Structure 1
Amino acid sequence: MKKLFFALFFILNAGQFSAQEILIDTLFIDNQFNKTSKTSKIISVNSEEILENATSLSDLLRFQSNIYIKENGRGATSSPSFRGTTAFQTAFVWNGININSIFLGQGDINNMNPLSYESIGIKFGGGSVIYGSGAIGGSIHLNNSLDFKRGFNGTFFTEYASFNTINSLVKANYSNEKFSFNLNINHSQSDNDYEVPEKKFINRNGAYQNTSFNLGLAYKTNPNNEFYWQSQHYDSDQHFPVFSENQTRTKYLVQTFRTLAGWKVRSESLKNNFKLAYLEDYFQYFGDVEDSKTNGGTGKQYIVKNDLDFVISRSTSINLISEYQYNEAKGFESGIQSPKRNLGSFSLLYRKLQTRKFYWELGAKQEIVEDYKSPFLFSASAKYVATNWYQTTMNISKNFRAPTFNDLYWKEGGNADLKPETSLQAEMSHRFRYKNFGLGITPYYMHIIDNITWIPVNGAIWSPININKVDAYGLETDLSFEKQFGKHFASSKLSYSYTRSVNLETQRQMRYVPTHRINFNADYQYSFFGIFVQAFYNGKTYIDSIEKDFLNDYLILNSGINFKIFKNNRIGFRVNNITSQAYQAMNYYYMPKRNYAVNLKLNF
């Protein structure tokens, strides 16, 4: 295992641990996310922070975390990279349910509108014991919540930006002691026809639009029983950029339907969260926007999940998570006929508050799947609060990614003999706190085996095989400050990440893994006035497997101001890419130079 030298840090608020979670005014559908925050590195982005980067989930993750975002031009296909891993090794979790595509095994973050969620969580490190396939490098949590005893309130948000971009949100909530209702409708669209003259780049055929409809309901029959329902319908039309006027224009249509019904029961000795979910993804690719679809598919998932937390004592609990899924798909012009898959899994977690300063937990998971042999998974973590200014956490785990329907069945290339990817991971965080300052460090190491890689096997035919072994290791550090004085509030956070992801067969850095990355965020609020600054630096990034061709490093700055009008209503203005930097997150596709946005938020 690689030896890492510790220097600097990451800060999380020190907290007291308890085997019991107390639910008072809000129903959180993903109750495991708060538990993992006790020993894992997480970032939580609330609804107000989401509005600072309302254009897309890509922008939000790029500026408010140190995840590398691989985006084929603004608004086009986009995917995240945690700690030197790939998009396939990232889990997307919607209200506690893994929603990675059963075709691709990943998610396109530009087909997930951030305005659809009350909060967005980012968890670093493996989490397959709880969240299943793909949770190797990290996971992105799209969370909805339902409040009680809040009465009626509503929000209207609209933003107009460069390239004829419009982002709008209408949200209404009503709740009393027993009933909660949440309606969210949002729409985004853009001509997206920006230019980068010095690079002779025009984002032709870059238009997109998407609409999301979200409805949530909850009802308490008594203080110990809650029934809830959360649904989402998403419709997207995403055009892919072309490089000349004569090139054939293409597009990609996506429709997603997700619905989740659940029943939460709690008593002094146990808590149980039972869920029924149905997920449907329908996509169509058009090789010519004026012609019929070229290929496509429909994927359906039926999920039954139960999360039972048995409280042995005030300091000890046992958590059993059981899940059954039935997956089916139907492809069009892809060679994927009608594959089906049954799978079940059992996870057991033991959590113990040993003393007021020491907390630890153990986890184990086994899946039973008809298409492949699933590995036995485990996790172990601990937290020690040494003083009121220093605490440390440690995590080790085994995680995996299952072969997808595309990996197994794609026409002229699918490989039915693939084994799941597995990874062994270790990380240790040191967290310091002094008055209003936080300082910490998180070194980590991952060893990934049976890495699934698509390679050319015969002319234009590509096929996936298990070949690569990868070592990913690095260091993540953060420095934070937060202070309230009178009507003034100031906060800032500076993050740095060092990442090495090495193919052990070639001893070369993996593609699209920047070695150095820096993020900076600062906010200042005074009475009716606020200002924020965002910046990120991305180091040199190799785009081939031999460390020859690369994307140049770049520094991007954003800033915005807002004014409160009539109590809690607000008007704001933002400048993106202030220095008008020409840069690429993916080869060939330049991102916009300086651009602007003005927004209005009304609360009623």
Structure 2
Amino acid sequence: MNQKRPYYISCRNLTLALFSVIPFSAFCATEKDSVKTQVKLQEVLVNGHNSQVVRAAMPVQVFAKEDINRLNAASVSDVAKHFAGVTVKDYGGIGGLKTVSLRGLGAQHTGVSYDGIMLSDIQSGQIDLSRFSLDNISDISLNNGQPNDIFQTARMFASAGVLCLNTKLPEYDGKNQLKGNATVKTGSFGLFNPSLFMNRTFGKKWAMNVSADGILADGKYKFIQYYGSSSNVGEILSRKNSDVKSIRTELNTRFALHSNENILLKLNYYNSERGLPGPVVFYNSYSAKRLSENNFISQLHYENRESNKIQYQASAKYNRNFNSFLDKDSTYKDPGVHAGERHEKYTQNEIYLTSTVKYIYNDNLASALAVDWWYNNLFKYASNPFAKFNYPTRHNGQANFSTKYVTEFWSINGNLLYTLTREQVKTGVAAKNQNKLSPTIGLSYKPFKSKEFRIRSYYKEEFRVPTFNDLYYQDFGNTSLRPEQTRQYDAGVTFSSNTLLRESELSITSDFYYNNITDKIIAIPKDLFHWTMINKGKVDILGCDVTLDFRKKVSQKQVYIIFKGNYTFQDIKDVTPRSSTYGKQLIYSPKHTGGCSLALSGPGYEAGYNLCVVSSRQTDNYPFNSLKGYQDHSLFAQKKFNKLNIKCEVNNLLNKQFEVVQYYPMPRRNYRLLLSYSF
């Protein structure tokens, strides 16, 4: 089978594929004071991200680029660990799978958007965060429920929460100069990670940026394999088959038709070949599984905000994802292939179209209507000729009507989302079509005029359509599955002040929530050797998220202390009738998680400390099979010399052994060095 053919076809039809959304910029205008009298005013720190966090009706957390640089983060998943309410599954090593789950609802209920357009994996429903680079990211935000801005695609309202990745927009400088930076990261495990970012303006209306980065690492690291239940006697082993080679390139271009009318184009290509490290069982860490990925995304976005009454945007995307899985085992004896090998290849295609119209009634009230349509298919090649496959396709449609009312004291927003799916298969029986209405309402109230203190609450209904694996996987899927249903209830308070301490800014948020999942899709055995998926599970989730953000100027030489902290409590219980785990905490769901970032920032230098804390977690029905809690400490320091920036990092400072997923040991103490040159 020719692996290159699907990519060739997608490139040939590139002009027919419509592309997607780039995030909206926030512009600030300043005016010079015409009054000649000189009055010395006390300095006030202004942080737009903190304002967004405390005034939103639905909880939102934001890490700007400068915040990300303080987190010892090598990937998007490292940033996600510092959001309250987030659980990250990390299968260890540079090449290991990394997924994110919000407030105990599961990775399939947590959406990931890339410049305003939702990413998807129709096969598994989980987005692997390890394939995204931080080098061209401008900010990362986590929205519980949905984004507070109603001028969005319908699909942005369809998840229980959305992790938004926003890249750097092409910038106009008026000088038609080439600007950018070149970066090299190196460190433990044979890491070599070069990257390049360039921005260029062409005249007054056209700007473009290009970014590229590659990763080469052997992924070998030492870990301790303890004997039995003992934590004192063990053997030092080396992690195997965790090497990775990857390259990512991206082009963004923006053409300004008028001051508030733009066309934006994004092209993104990602290619990787990596080992999949296996579980360490009975002191054996052998794995011969390999995964090759080839992902292409093209997005086009038109946006018109010229009118003070009617604003319009339209976007389109084409996404093709090819992955090839190879496993070597002497027991494989599939005819027609090399002895001892099993090979599977999957190709996903998605075509996506969306348009949104926003009508502004007055300064306080606005409504928006968004209509989305997208098409997915999945092709499979397997070396086992007896493997059956349905070759499924799915048509999806969504329409969302939303309204938002905002005053100095009140913020109220609500929406009604309609979703339909239409399933088809080439062989076998197709799953049921779905039609569903999902309401959401959120509000925020400021009781005191002189204080930035707000009370907020929201209610949201959401459902998850079964993935193609849930429905059609060989001897495992069930085409009679119903969607998982969720109901979310949230109540919280926010507070912000820049007067508690001189030349400081403080913001605090606290949210209590209850989530309920019904018709949860779980696997049960049909007999001793075969399993299937059914709608049986019910889960109740009680939780609390707390965040704190503090910034204080400690010297007239522009030296600041910056602190960000978060804490999450989650009681996630299985309430499925007659379940063997009834009333117990769901597996891989820690009750307590938290973390903090503390930095000292001055002119041309910065140093800091980061901490992530996770409590113990159950891994199955037996109390003695649990993962111990862990603390991950790290340090960093960076110094700027004109156009050169040097940064050093020490991760897992205390050299502790821990696991995020059972039998997948994480690296112990390791180091990274970054050199960056701006031009």
Q: TM-score, normalised by structure 1?
A: 0.90
CA distance in 2, matches of 1:204, 1:82: 31
Q: How far did 1:396 drift?
A: 0.7
1:577 maps onto 2:652 in alignment: yes
Match of 1:511 among 580, 587, 594: 587
- Corresponding residue SS for 2:526: strand
Counterpart AA for 2:353: V
CA distance in 2, matches of 1:184, 1:83: 33
- Corresponding residue SS for 1:544: coil
Q: Which residue of 1 aligns with 2:359?
A: 310
Q: 1:477 to 1:534 in 2, by over 3 A?
A: same
Match of 2:299 among 257, 260, 274: 260
1:379 maps onto 2:443 in alignment: no
Q: 1:86 to 1:37 in 2, by over 3 A?
A: farther
1:58 maps onto 2:77 in alignment: yes
Is the CA contact 1:358–1:384 (under 8 Å) kept in the aligned structure 2?
A: yes
CA distance in 2, matches of 1:177, 1:203: 53
CA distance in 2, matches of 1:588, 1:164: 23
- Corresponding residue SS for 2:104: coil
Q: Which residue of 1 aligns with 2:426?
A: none
Q: How far did 1:197 drift?
A: 3.4
Q: Which residue of 2 aligns with 1:499?
A: 570
Is the CA contact 1:83–1:137 (under 8 Å) kept in the aligned structure 2?
A: no
- Corresponding residue SS for 1:110: helix
Q: Which residue of 2 aligns with 1:239?
A: 275
1:370 maps onto 2:370 in alignment: no
Q: 1:127 to 1:431 in 2, by over 3 A?
A: closer
- Corresponding residue SS for 2:413: strand
Is the CA contact 2:590–2:615 (under 8 Å) kept in the aligned structure 1?
A: yes
Q: Which residue of 2 aligns with 1:29?
A: none
Counterpart AA for 1:367: T
Q: How far did 1:39 drift?
A: 2.0
Counterpart AA for 1:186: D
Q: Which residue of 1 aligns with 2:395?
A: 342
CA distance in 2, matches of 1:489, 1:433: 18
Is the CA contact 1:102–1:299 (under 8 Å) kept in the aligned structure 2?
A: yes
Q: How far did 1:136 drift?
A: 4.7
Q: How far did 1:72 drift?
A: 1.3
Q: 1:444 to 1:66 in 2, by over 3 A?
A: closer
Counterpart AA for 1:451: K
The 10-residue stretch of structure 1 (83-92 or 270-279) with the greater mean CA deviation from structure 2: 83-92
Is the CA contact 1:437–1:480 (under 8 Å) kept in the aligned structure 2?
A: yes
Q: How far did 1:374 drift?
A: 3.2
Alpha-carbon displacement from aligned partner over 1:429-468 (angstroms, at most 9, x marks no partner): 2012343332331111111111111222233322211111
Is the CA contact 1:116–1:212 (under 8 Å) kept in the aligned structure 2?
A: no
- Corresponding residue SS for 1:407: helix
1:40 maps onto 2:66 in alignment: no
Count residues in correspondence: 575
- Corresponding residue SS for 2:80: helix
Alpha-carbon displacement from aligned partner over 1:198-220 (angstroms, at most 9, x marks no partner): 64342111111221110011101
Is the CA contact 1:96–1:131 (under 8 Å) kept in the aligned structure 2?
A: no
Q: Which residue of 1 aligns with 2:408?
A: 356
CA distance in 1, matches of 2:352, 2:388: 26
- Corresponding residue SS for 2:478: coil
CA distance in 2, matches of 1:268, 1:38: 23
Q: 1:137 to 1:585 in 2, by over 3 A?
A: farther
The 10-residue stretch of structure 1 (214-223 or 334-343) with the greater mean CA deviation from structure 2: 334-343
CA distance in 2, matches of 1:351, 1:513: 35
CA distance in 1, matches of 2:393, 2:376: 6
Counterpart AA for 1:453: I
- Corresponding residue SS for 2:81: helix
CA distance in 1, matches of 2:218, 2:140: 27
Q: 1:58 to 1:450 in 2, by over 3 A?
A: same
Structure 1 vs Structure 2 CA RMSD:
2.5
- Corresponding residue SS for 2:113: strand
Q: TM-score, normalised by structure 2?
A: 0.80
1:489 maps onto 2:560 in alignment: yes
1:70 maps onto 2:89 in alignment: yes
Q: How far did 1:524 drift?
A: 1.1
The 10-residue stretch of structure 1 (505-514 or 139-148) with the greater mean CA deviation from structure 2: 139-148
CA distance in 2, matches of 1:534, 1:375: 43
- Corresponding residue SS for 2:124: coil
CA distance in 2, matches of 1:72, 1:227: 40
Is the CA contact 1:50–1:115 (under 8 Å) kept in the aligned structure 2?
A: no
- Corresponding residue SS for 1:146: coil
- Corresponding residue SS for 2:108: helix
Is the CA contact 1:133–1:401 (under 8 Å) kept in the aligned structure 2?
A: no
CA distance in 2, matches of 1:456, 1:497: 34
1:326 maps onto 2:346 in alignment: no
1:467 maps onto 2:536 in alignment: yes
- Corresponding residue SS for 1:60: helix
CA distance in 2, matches of 1:196, 1:96: 40
CA distance in 2, matches of 1:574, 1:88: 33
Matches of residues 529-568 of structure 1 in structure 2 within 5 Å? 529-545=605-621, 547-566=623-642, 568=643
Q: How far did 1:399 drift?
A: 0.8
- Corresponding residue SS for 1:183: strand
Matches of residues 33-432 of structure 1 in structure 2 within 5 Å? 38-51=56-69, 52-63=71-82, 67-75=86-94, 76-125=96-145, 132=155, 136-150=159-173, 151=175, 152-175=178-201, 177-197=204-224, 199=226, 200=235, 201-242=237-278, 243=280, 247-266=286-305, 267-288=307-328, 294-333=343-382, 335-353=388-406, 355-371=407-423, 372-387=433-448, 388-432=451-495
Q: How far did 1:356 drift?
A: 1.8
CA distance in 2, matches of 1:149, 1:269: 27
Counterpart AA for 2:184: T
Counterpart AA for 1:318: S
Q: How far did 1:546 drift?
A: 5.0
Q: 1:137 to 1:168 in 2, by over 3 A?
A: farther
**Structure 2 gap ranges (5+):** 1-23, 30-51, 227-234, 330-337, 424-432, 499-504, 577-581
Q: Which residue of 2 aligns with 1:4?
A: none
Q: 1:246 to 1:595 in 2, by over 3 A?
A: closer
CA distance in 2, matches of 1:360, 1:397: 14
Is the CA contact 2:54–2:494 (under 8 Å) kept in the aligned structure 1?
A: no
Alpha-carbon displacement from aligned partner over 1:313-354 (angstroms, at most 9, x marks no partner): 12111111100111111112364342111121100001112x
Alpha-carbon displacement from aligned partner over 1:357-380 (angstroms, at most 9, x marks no partner): 111111001012113223211110
The 10-residue stretch of structure 1 (156-165 or 54-63) with the greater mean CA deviation from structure 2: 54-63
Q: Identity of counterpart residues, as a percentage? A: 19
Q: How far did 1:548 drift?
A: 4.2
Q: How far did 1:580 drift?
A: 0.5
CA distance in 2, matches of 1:448, 1:136: 13
CA distance in 2, matches of 1:384, 1:209: 50
**Structure 1 gap ranges (5+):** 1-20, 27-33
Q: 1:499 to 1:125 in 2, by over 3 A?
A: farther
CA distance in 2, matches of 1:203, 1:456: 33
Is the CA contact 1:127–1:135 (under 8 Å) kept in the aligned structure 2?
A: no
Q: How far did 1:113 drift?
A: 2.8
Q: How far did 1:259 drift?
A: 0.6
CA distance in 2, matches of 1:133, 1:558: 34
Q: 1:178 to 1:547 in 2, by over 3 A?
A: farther
The 10-residue stretch of structure 1 (249-258 or 425-434) with the greater mean CA deviation from structure 2: 425-434
Is the CA contact 2:136–2:168 (under 8 Å) kept in the aligned structure 1?
A: no
Is the CA contact 2:495–2:509 (under 8 Å) kept in the aligned structure 1?
A: yes
- Corresponding residue SS for 2:590: coil
Alpha-carbon displacement from aligned partner over 1:63-117 (angstroms, at most 9, x marks no partner): 4655221111122112122212222221111222221201001111222333343
Is the CA contact 1:91–1:134 (under 8 Å) kept in the aligned structure 2?
A: no
Counterpart AA for 1:585: V
Q: 1:476 to 1:224 in 2, by over 3 A?
A: closer
Is the CA contact 1:232–1:257 (under 8 Å) kept in the aligned structure 2?
A: yes
CA distance in 2, matches of 1:35, 1:271: 25
Alpha-carbon displacement from aligned partner over 1:386-432 (angstroms, at most 9, x marks no partner): 23231122111101111111111111121111111111111122012
The 10-residue stretch of structure 1 (64-73 or 36-45) with the greater mean CA deviation from structure 2: 36-45
